[in-house]
Structure 1
């Protein structure tokens, strides 16, 4: 009788501990798999809230993150997320490369996988937030050798992968002169949208500050005559480039990079896409 009672009490204690951990605003998660969520989920989160979770798995493992539910105030600007947002980093700090731009609204983000054993998730609700139910996310560790990150650094490509990192040739050591590189990203079977985010853009500007000679431009279609999704940019800070989610309206997105007649030691660009 005592043994049964002790077992029940221990089980109830574990449930209470798990509930408390899920209610916490951030923390370090070291289990092989787990669940975390915004405070008060599935009820509305408070305004002026900032939570950060660090996921750390074993050596030779990577982190796969899945958002089961997602509802953040977007203030009618889903691509900019001016009040509330989630950011996911491929590493253990906010200075690590971003796996995505700012996330908000009600659209469930894609599954994301780190390149190493750490992943950081940052949630922020502004003072002017109208609130939302927040999010519930699950994560698990996976063998690194089974999830090698796709990295493309040639001068253009026709891409049918569902996720990849794209880098300008020579990144981050500099870029050559007279480049005209075009990457065409196509969703498999012609179904879905392409979501692209910049980790860095660093090109030499003209004296007047314009980006007309060295730049990267995104097009919403299968060629450079398609509508421009994002105007020519030459630095990560241009028009909040680093935190903007650039989403095609159809199954094809074009990235075009051009450089002038002079090479440069500027980095070029680096970014990620998912379908």
Structure 2
């Protein structure tokens, strides 16, 4: 029996949760997911990761993130950071990409997106 994992898609509304495939279990190698988040016009998007486990043997302390990574706003996140990433947008849309290569896999991530007023940034 073939099990199709939900991976990527369009996310809309004020708030929501998305995860890497199979989270909290290990994601599969050679996985590519793309989520397109859209919140109401005039608002901005904030994505906060509550779990983030994308380490690769030999890549634990590198900033390259060329194996398994999450990419948002042209910046890649990987490894097991001491504090989970929080990323904001200047618009009401955000694209989140998850990529894993053919080698070692980890448990992945869980993330929550929410709407905020761009004037409330700090």
Q: TM-score, normalised by structure 2?
A: 0.86
Write out per-residue CA displacement over residues 12-57 of structure 1, whole angstroms, 9 at most, x where no aligned residue.
xxxxxxxxxxx51000100210000011000000000000111101
Q: In structure 2, list runs of 5 or more residues that go unmatched.
A: none
- Greater share of residues in helix: 1
Q: How many residues in Structure 1 have an aligned counterpart in Structure 2?
A: 115
Give the corresponding residue for 1:240.
none
Q: Secondary structure at the match of 2:76?
A: coil
Please report the RMSD computed on the Cα atoms of aligned residues, expressed in angstroms.
Answer: 1.6
Task: Give 1:75 deviation, angstroms.
Answer: 3.1
Question: In the TM superposition, what are the counterparts of 1:114-263 in structure 2 within 5 Å?
Answer: 114-128=89-103, 130-147=104-121
Contact 1:75 1:82 in 2 (8 A): no
Give me the whole-angstrom Cα distance separating, in 1, the residues matched to 2:17 and 2:65.
24
Q: TM-score, normalised by structure 1?
A: 0.40
Write out per-residue CA displacement over residues 127-185 of structure 1, whole angstroms, 9 at most, x where no aligned residue.
12x110000000100123333xxxxxxxxxxxxxx8xxxxxxxxxxxxxxxxxxxxxxx
Question: In the TM superposition, what are the counterparts of 1:2-17 in structure 2 within 5 Å?
Answer: none
Q: Secondary structure at the match of 1:102?
A: strand
Q: Secondary structure at the match of 1:145?
A: helix
Give the corresponding residue for 2:21.
39
The higher-RCO structure (CA 8 Å, 6+ apart) is 2
Contact 1:103 1:109 in 2 (8 A): no
Structure exhibiting the larger radius of gyration computed from Cα positions: 1
- Greater share of residues in strand: 2
Q: In structure 1, list runs of 5 or more residues that go unmatched.
A: 1-22, 90-97, 148-161, 163-275
